[in-house]
Amino acid sequence: MIQRHARHACALLAFSLLHAAFAAQADTLIIPGAVWDGIAEAPVTGQAVLVRGERIAAVGPVETLQSAGAERIELPRTTLVPGLIEGHSHLLLHPYNETLWDDQVLKEGFGYRVAAAVAHAAATLRAGITTERDLGTEGAGNADVQLKRAIDDGLVPGPRLITVTRAIVATGSYGPQRKSYSFDPGQGAEEATGTEEIARVVRHQVAQGADWIKVYADYRWGPDGEARATFSQTELDALVAAARDAGRPVAAHATTPEGMRRAVLAGVETIEHGDTGTPEVFRLMKKHGVTLCPTVATAEAYATYFDGWVKGKMPPNAELRAKREAFRAALDAGVAICFGGDVGVFPHGENTRELEVMVEWGMSPLAAMRSATSVNARMLHREAQIGRIAPGLLADLVAVPGDPTRDISSLRHPGLVMKGGKRVY
């Protein structure tokens, strides 16, 4: 808890500086050691980026980019990359080795959780995450939508948020589990049963401000606590249809082959986790253009918290071995991979730990960087706004030491973070 309070204190101490940085700026000419545009095979040296207002005005050799009165930011020995885009986070949660999930949902007051989320958002932005899809408030209503509004209005610093409010779960499948309490505990998600009720719940989440809909296609509710599919195929079909009518894509928590299969056939756009996915189901995902958010860093966090696993000193446990095999099968099948680590299970501000584990498990640093930029932009249907360094796009920019397309760990040390043309770190 001491470490957590220290992180929050640092975030709040930096708040006034971050908030002041949101003031309007004149043109800015950024001159790094190299520029990586979010797609290319390698960074390009000798390039500079001219920022005008909230957008990138031009990219090219510094001598060709002239702007009277522009502020010059010279960052030698750094690579300028697009602002990172995270696809799976929980700003309303904090690590489970600090407070168990049940206790966060049932014992931490709403105001406390929102205040913590403000600190989490600031830490996320400082880590170079300029856009983030938050996949569920876990019992905190539409607090993510209200936090998004506060960030957009400049009241607090944070990434550009994409929200789902509460996830949708099959009645009786989620938690806190009722059998464990002498009272009916509040649930971490919204329950539904049957096609009519599912459509109603989807529309309720849309009314609450959801940008995406999240559904649990399976969960650990089997007789022995094993993961099993929750909604029927017909129910999932109805959920996706109702979401599409409202123009909302669907993300599905799915860890089992059957849950994944049903979700893909229903038309979801992303599968979250995919812990025990098979080559067959990943080929099905590839065929239907479904993206995987593998959340590999959270798998390691769970092993550390609950099994006593020590990375680098102990071999992976059975769950980690299965997860690695599934991730490798997804790569082999050519499935698009999202950068989204389920941060909140591990500390906010350490978001890029997910990219490091993805690389350790077989992804190239270049492919991981694309996942965190152009791939996620396309997954979120925002490729015309973010995810690349190109004229006309939003000036979401991060400068890091060295070359992250060769050494992904360099993302841990951003020297400049700019969101929408405003320097925030």
Identify the pLDDT of residue 17.
44
> The tokens 């320097």 sit on which residue?
423
Average pLDDT score, the chain: 94
- 41-75 burial, b at 16+ Cβ within 10 Å, e below that, comes to eebeeebbbbbbbbebbbbeebeebebeebeebeb
Residues in the chain: 425
Identify the pLDDT of residue 26.
83
Checking if the pLDDT of 23 tops 50, the result is no
Work out the number of other CB atoms within 10 angstroms of the CB of residue 191.
Answer: 15
pLDDT band for position 5 (cuts 50, 70, 90): low
Per DSSP, the residues of 164-177 read --S-EEETTSSSS-
Q: Which residues contact 220 (CB under 8 A, 6 or more apart)?
A: 226, 227
Model confidence over 314-329: pLDDT tens digits?
999 999 999 999 999 9
* Domain covering 84-379: architecture: Alpha-Beta Barrel (3.20)
For residue 343, the 8-state DSSP code is B
Task: Measure Cα distances from 78 to 105, 292, 404 in Å.
Answer: 42, 30, 10
What span, in angstroms and rounded, lies between the C-alpha atoms of 140 and 142?
6
Model confidence over 160-217: pLDDT tens digits?
999 999 999 999 999 999 999 999 999 999 999 999 999 999 999 999 999 999 999 9
What span, in angstroms and rounded, lies between the C-alpha atoms of 425 and 418?
7
Least confident of 12-26, 69-83, 113-127, 363-377: 12-26
What is the Cα gyration radius of the chain? 21
Identify the pLDDT of residue 69.
84
φ/ψ (deg, to 5) at 218? -155, 170
> Long-range contacts: 370-375, Cβ < 8 Å, 24+?
370/38, 370/39, 371/337, 371/338, 371/339, 372/84, 372/85, 372/86, 372/339, 373/38, 373/81, 373/82, 373/83, 373/84, 373/85, 374/38, 374/39, 374/82, 375/291, 375/336, 375/337, 375/338, 375/339
How many helices and strands, by DSSP H and E, does the chain display? 14, 19
What span, in angstroms and rounded, lies between the C-alpha atoms of 178 and 186?
9
CATH 2.30.40.10 location in the chain:
2-83+387-423
Instruction: Read off the pLDDT of each residue in 130-134 and give the average, rounded to a whole number.
Output: 98
Instruction: Read off the pLDDT of each residue in 150-168 and give the average, rounded to a whole number.
Output: 98
Closest CA to 187 of 175, 204, 198: 175
Checking if the pLDDT of 370 tops 60, the result is yes
Work out the number of other CB atoms within 10 angstroms of the CB of residue 180.
Answer: 9
Instruction: Read off the pLDDT of each residue in 278-305 and give the average, rounded to a whole number.
Output: 98
Instruction: Read off the pLDDT of each residue in 65-92 and give the average, rounded to a whole number.
Output: 94
Identify the pLDDT of residue 425.
76
pTM: 0.92
Q: Which residues contact 69 (CB under 8 A, 6 or more apart)?
A: 26, 27
Q: Which residues pair with 133 in a beta bridge?
A: 162
CATH 3.20.20.140 location in the chain:
84-379
* Strand ranges for 120-278 from DSSP E: 129-134, 160-162, 168-170, 190-192, 213-216, 218-220, 227-229, 250-254, 270-273
What span, in angstroms and rounded, lies between the C-alpha atoms of 184 and 176?
9
Q: Find the distance separating the first CA and the last CA of the chain, reported in whole Å.
A: 26
Are 399 and 84 contacting, i.e. CB atoms less than 8 angstroms apart? no
What span, in angstroms and rounded, lies between the C-alpha atoms of 259 and 225?
16
Identify the pLDDT of residue 321.
96
Identify the pLDDT of residue 323.
97
Which one-letter amino acid corresponds to residue 387?
G
pLDDT band for position 19 (cuts 50, 70, 90): very low
Both tokens assigned to 24: 């309007």
Checking if the pLDDT of 8 tops 90, the result is no
Checking if the pLDDT of 275 tops 90, the result is yes
What span, in angstroms and rounded, lies between the C-alpha atoms of 101 and 270?
24
Least confident of 19-28, 62-71, 148-157, 370-379: 19-28
Closest CA to 370 of 34, 361, 359, 360: 359
pLDDT band for position 16 (cuts 50, 70, 90): very low
Both tokens assigned to 47: 């390039």
Instruction: Read off the pLDDT of each residue in 35-44 and give the average, rounded to a whole number.
Output: 98
Q: Which residues contact 319 (CB under 8 A, 6 or more apart)?
A: 275, 299, 302, 303, 307
Model confidence over 206-251: pLDDT tens digits?
999 999 999 999 999 999 999 999 999 999 999 999 999 999 999 9
Residues 2-83+387-423: name the CATH superfamily: Urease, subunit C, domain 1 (2.30.40.10)
Instruction: Read off the pLDDT of each residue in 98-109 and give the average, rounded to a whole number.
Output: 96
Residue 71, helix vs strand vs coil: strand
